[in-house]
Amino acid sequence: MTEITPELVAEHGLTGEEYGRIKRLLNREPSFVELGIFSVMWSEHCSYKSTRIHLRKLPTKAPWVIQGPGENAGVIDIGDGDACIFKMESHNHPSFIEPYQGAATGVGGIMRDVFTMGARPIAMMNALRFGEPSHPKTRHLVSGVVSGIGGYGNCMGVPTVGGEVNFHKSYNGNILVNAMCVGLARTDNIFLSAAKGAGNPVVYIGSKTGRDGIHGATMASAEFSEDSEEKRPTVQVGDPFTEKLLLEACLELMATDAIIAIQDMGAAGLTSSSAEMADKGGSGIELDLDKVPQREAGMTAYDMMLSESQERMLAVLKPGREAQAEAIFKKWELDFAVIGITTDTRRLVVKHKGEIVADMPVTALSDAAPLYERPFSKRPPATGTPSFDASRPVMASLKKILAAPDMCSRRWVWQQYDYTVMADTVQMPGGDAAVVRVHHSNKGLAITTDVTPRYCKADPYEGAKQAVAEAWRNITAVGAMPLALTDNLNFGNPQKPEIMGEIVSGIDGIGEACRALDFPVIGGNCSLYNETNGEGIPPTPAIGGVGLMADLHRMATIAFKREGDAIILVGDTKGHLGQSIYLREVEGREEGRCPPVDLAAEKRNGDFVRRLIEAGRVDTVHDLSDGGVLVAVAEMALAGNIGADIGVAGTAHSIPFFFGEDQGRYLLTASPVEADRIEGELRHAGIVHAIIGKTIAEKVLRVEREGETSLSTLRAAHEGWFPSYMSGEEIPPTN
Amino acid sequence: MKSAVIVFPASNCDRDAAVALEQMTGRKPHMVWHQECDLPDVDLVVLPGGFSYGDYLRSGAMAGQSAVMRAVKAHAKKGGAVLGICNGFQVLTESHLLPGALMRNAGLKFVCRPVTMAVEETQNVFTRKYLHGQQVTFPVAHGDGNYFADEETLNRLEGEGRVVFRYAPGQNPNGSSRDIAGILSEKRNVLGLMPHPERVVDPLLGGTDGRGLFESLIETLS
């Protein structure tokens, strides 16, 4: 029997106070296995002990929400008996240590969260933040993460349809890899994790249990240091082939009525799946570890309870249905074993080699887990309107911005993802939101991931608001109705009051935007302790949004489609340069106030634009975000290979007009006659707008008083950076 | 036209192929599990894209040895049509129904993008509805699509008019010898190609260039 020393407790990431709590809950010293179980279940990653109090403030309900936070993923009703199930989750720490496997298993994990609820995954997205391009590890990390995401998703045959990639030095020691999975189920066939009832068989399905990933959840709940490389063994290894079989086998089993509850074994593996299922079902679970399919001999109870081997699920079946289930898993050549039974004791009991190695109340792991109201201090947001050099030539700045690491084409990335498999991808990567068809129907789902970390750093509250608004806007810009979101809250160490302040402000900002836009949070994930050697990342609350498009033939894309169309700017342009891409990339400064989001204007403008698309009056729309008006015009011109002639619309300064990042804005095109009508309606609705130019036959971008640049020159700048950087050809600029 | 789609563990374009076949022919194909030793009575067998058996050995190598491939070979030997797309093409070379091999892409990365090809042969059941020399655009999505064969084999393929699809100049996504995208068997009843015709039969998804292939099969085999 291993003696529990204070050092051992500390190694398990538990404080002395938390250990005292364990002893009080058990009325005795825990066994070594129990200590391991408590350490993972009480880790930040599993227990949300620092954020739970604040997360409760988020709006999670709407008439179309079937399942909010608390299950493996959230569920919304998308009509006709169809349900959309989705969630986003981080795999930051493992991806930094071992980029290929870290990212791959991140993809595998989030897919299991979705198909464990009865959904077939139909689309993947991701949100990636890397260090500055000149950092020696960045190329290696980009290369490994992208191929890991592709390697897993491509094999699964689920299209990866979009995402974001940012570079900034503040992620040098702690990259972010957030993966989102969207699945489709029937509203009457959704599976939950509540293991209700006693005497039901608990079955283990999928891969065998090995020694990989032990203490992954605990690792993900601590800061990084120089010796993080030593933590490589805590990273799991993915096997997408087995996951594909597991997916098909689970869906086959779910077509029967044999299942009472099912949950994937993700973080904290067998421990969290069994404890959470018993907790939600108001039952107990007794496990016999001798029955667990094992990859190697000599595994201890501790190893098995804490292993994070991938591609495993735990299910509770109706009694007597074991043979039916087993036949399905045999067909798919997967392991299947009855490893336990549900009880009415409300205890988690673990047996190994005839001995009870753990026996604890289920609630000790859930309700009785520590809950911290950590002290926080909110730092004042960055303020001020930065100066700029008004003499800089606009076209040269545009070219520079289009070629900047954060702004250039991501083709190098998404070409490594199979984005057309399943033959339902209607809008591929590169647009405002990806659109996938709901199979065998004429409706679609619009999906996006968004956050602008530099805004969040300047002002965590406004920045979080902006992330939600931008997700809502991107979904709107393709013509879909935003329905719900999942949030992936990436922050630093919550034990530092200033970081906790960022978390609280971020959650408050998300909540305010969600309420104003009727865009509830239906699930998510917190990734804290994103720090290396004491230096935290900027607050990065990534938002994954989903919207519904009723008719796929009424959809907008960013590409210019015809010559002679008027280009209409919808929304108020004050020329906000604070925290803008222009300021950072051209002036070399990151300062000033971030653009405020007027949520009422956001909603009014977006609803107006969406109605135009839904009515079939507009098919070309681009939301305005990073880089502002002129960058958006250039992206639309490049996507359609049609030129544009832009006036300056009577503004005093062209630089703030063209590059300011005021929120709640869209560009759209229409024939001159239709544009007249739209202008009249915009005036009537009280929406600030302007016709800023028109599309033209020549393949150039021409700007009044600033000259013109050929689309081929802009394209070369836009497309060139990523491939040349990754091939090591260019010494990248730092940001 | 009666068709069957073979399903290997981790085939992942089996549904896409089935949807395209049903959409084009009005009939659902038979879905045939890899452990089957017999095929239903069909005119066309499709080996779909995916990662059969995980492709942890060479792509298509395990599938080439599977029970169902013996039946597919017998079907081909009788002159039955066999279409191998992407992983299906890899399975066809691994099972020697087609010559050559598909190696790792020259760029060493998985590549997904639309590619334009020329239809160089129309005297066969798969492409007769295309015009000779017609340019078509299908998406590719593969990591191992770099077609390789020795010079003698390549010369013979060219000489016998068995190079059906050739990547247009500058479009070769994987380093394939002589820009070869798809080839026929000697008896011209087995076609393997890396690009995905089944993903371009619906205008909503960005093109209908793949329809010609299914229309050709329907015209000949119905």
Token pair recorded at residue B75? 């079907």
What is residue A648's predicted lDDT score, i.e. its pLDDT?
74
What CA–CA distances, in Å, run from A271 to A76, A446, A572?
29, 36, 53
Residues in CB range of A644: below 8 A, 6 or more apart: A560, A567, A633, A636, A637, A693, A694, A695, A696, A701, A702
Cβ of A150 within 8 Å of Cβ of B110? The answer is: yes
Of B115, B176, B114, B190, nearest to B147 by C-alpha is: B176
Mean pLDDT (10-residue bins), chain B, 222 residues: 97 97 96 96 98 95 96 98 98 98 97 98 97 98 98 98 98 98 98 98 94 96 88
In angstroms, rounded to a whole number, what is the distance separating the alpha carbons of residues A463 and A461?
A: 5
What is residue A225's predicted lDDT score, i.e. its pLDDT?
63
pLDDT higher than 50, residue A734: no
- Go through chain B and tell me how many residues it has: 222
What is residue A341's predicted lDDT score, i.e. its pLDDT?
97
Residue of B nearest to A552 (CA): B204
Contacts of B139 in chain A (CB under 8 A): 420
Residue of A nearest to B105 (CA): A416
In angstroms, rounded to a whole number, what is the distance separating the alpha carbons of residues B120 and B164?
A: 5
Token pair recorded at residue A126? 């991701």
In angstroms, rounded to a whole number, what is the distance separating the alpha carbons of residues A169 and A129?
A: 10
In angstroms, rounded to a whole number, what is the distance separating the alpha carbons of residues A508 and A340?
A: 42
- Give the number of other Cβ atoms within 10 Å of residue A435's Cβ: 29
Q: How far is A188 from chain B (nearest CA, A)?
A: 23
At CA A286, angle to CA A282 and CA A292, rounded to 5? 130
CB pairs under 8 A between A and B: 84
User: Given the structure tokens 């279940």, which residue do they identify?
Assistant: A41
Distance of CA A89 to the CA centre of its chain: 6
Per the structure, the count of domains in chain B is 1
pLDDT higher than 80, residue A221: no
What CA–CA distances, in Å, run from A301 to A210, A214, A476?
12, 12, 51
Give counts: helices (H), strands (E), chain A: 25, 28
Domain interval for residue B110: 3-221
Of B164, B96, B175, B176, nearest to B133 by C-alpha is: B164
Do residues A236 and A306 make contact, with C-beta atoms less than 8 angstroms apart? no
Of A699, A691, A648, nearest to A667 by C-alpha is: A691
pLDDT class for A360, splitting at 50, 70, 90?
very high
pLDDT higher than 60, residue A72: yes
In angstroms, rounded to a whole number, what is the distance separating the alpha carbons of residues A377 and A688?
A: 38
Strands A284-288 and A347-352: parallel
Beta bridge partner(s), residue A449: A544
Out of A416, A420, A424, name the one closest to residue B109 (CB).
A416
Residue of B nearest to A436 (CA): B205
Of A447, A678, A653, A670, nearest to A548 by C-alpha is: A447
Do residues A21 and A370 make contact, with C-beta atoms less than 8 angstroms apart? yes
Q: How far is A414 from chain B (nearest CA, A)?
A: 8
Kind plus residue range of the DSSP H or E element containing A548: strand A540-549
Cβ of B111 within 8 Å of Cβ of A425? The answer is: no
Query: Beta-strand (E) ranges in A39-187?
Result: 65-67, 74-77, 82-90, 120-130, 160-167, 176-186
Cβ of A244 within 8 Å of Cβ of B9? The answer is: yes
Residue of A nearest to B54 (CA): A241
pLDDT higher than 60, residue A148: yes
What is residue A268's predicted lDDT score, i.e. its pLDDT?
83
Distance of CA A579 to the CA centre of its chain: 23
Say whether A719 sits in a helix, a strand or coil.
helix
Amino acid at B93: T
Contacts of B174 in chain A (CB under 8 A): none
| DSSP letter (8 states) at residue B50 | B
What is residue A468's predicted lDDT score, i.e. its pLDDT?
98
In angstroms, rounded to a whole number, what is the distance separating the alpha carbons of residues B91 and B75?
A: 15
pLDDT higher than 90, residue A266: no
Q: How far is A437 from chain B (nearest CA, A)?
A: 9
Cβ of A420 within 8 Å of Cβ of B109? The answer is: no
Q: How far is A425 from chain B (nearest CA, A)?
A: 6
Do residues A486 and A523 make contact, with C-beta atoms less than 8 angstroms apart? yes
Tell me, yes or no, if B57 comes closer than 8 A to chain A by beta carbon: no
What CA–CA distances, in Å, run from A373 to A35, A43, A630?
24, 15, 45
At CA A53, angle to CA A50 and CA A55, rounded to 5? 95
Sheet holding A259-264, edge to edge: A259-264, A312-317, A201-206, A335-343, A284-288, A347-352, A355-361
What is residue A735's predicted lDDT score, i.e. its pLDDT?
43
Of A249, A117, A101, nearest to B10 by C-alpha is: A249
Residue of A nearest to B139 (CA): A420
Tell me, yes or no, if B202 comes closer than 8 A to chain A by beta carbon: yes
Task: Work out the mean pLDDT of chain A and round it to a whole number.
Answer: 94
Tell me, yes or no, if B196 comes closer than 8 A to chain A by beta carbon: yes
* B198 in catalytic set: yes
Q: For residue A320, which phi and psi values (nearest 5 degrees)?
A: 90, -5
Distance of CA B45 to the CA centre of its chain: 11
Contacts of A333 in chain B (CB under 8 A): 9
What is residue B206's predicted lDDT score, i.e. its pLDDT?
83
pLDDT higher than 60, residue A354: yes
In angstroms, rounded to a whole number, what is the distance separating the alpha carbons of residues A669 and A678?
A: 10
Of B13, B120, B142, B196, the catalytic one is B196
In angstroms, rounded to a whole number, what is the distance separating the alpha carbons of residues A420 and A436?
A: 10
Give counts: helices (H), strands (E), chain B: 6, 11
Q: How far is B53 from chain A (nearest CA, A)?
A: 7
Percentage, residues of chain A above pLDDT 90: 90
Sign of CA dihedral A113, A115, A117, A119: positive
DSSP one-letter string for A442-508: S-EEEEEEE--HHHHHH-HHHHHHHHHHHHHHHHHHHT-EEEEEEEEEE-S-TTSHHHHHHHHHHHH
Of A54, A91, A168, A352, the catalytic one is A91
Residue B124 sits in a domain of what CATH number?
3.40.50.880
Contacts of B112 in chain A (CB under 8 A): 154, 414-420
What is residue A222's predicted lDDT score, i.e. its pLDDT?
67
Residue of A nearest to B35 (CA): A331
List pLDDT tens digits, range A399-453: 999 999 999 999 999 999 999 999 999 999 999 999 999 999 999 999 999 999 9
Q: How far is B20 from chain A (nearest CA, A)?
A: 9
pLDDT higher than 60, residue A108: yes
Token pair recorded at residue A499? 């970081």
pLDDT higher than 50, residue A576: yes
Q: Which residue has the higher pLDDT, A11 or A549?
A: A549
Cβ of B110 within 8 Å of Cβ of A414? The answer is: no
What is residue A534's predicted lDDT score, i.e. its pLDDT?
85
What CA–CA distances, in Å, run from A20 to A48, A272, A373, A457, A612?
20, 21, 19, 37, 62
Backbone region of residue A410 per phi and psi (left: phi > 0; alpha: psi in -120 to 50; beta: other values): alpha
Of B13, B75, B86, B142, the catalytic one is B86
pTM of this prediction?
A: 0.96
Cβ of B141 within 8 Å of Cβ of A552? The answer is: no
Mean pLDDT for the stretch of residues A207-231: 70
Token pair recorded at residue A528? 């804290």
Mean pLDDT for the stretch of residues A141-158: 97
List pLDDT tens digits, range A315-348: 999 999 999 999 999 999 999 999 999 999 999 9
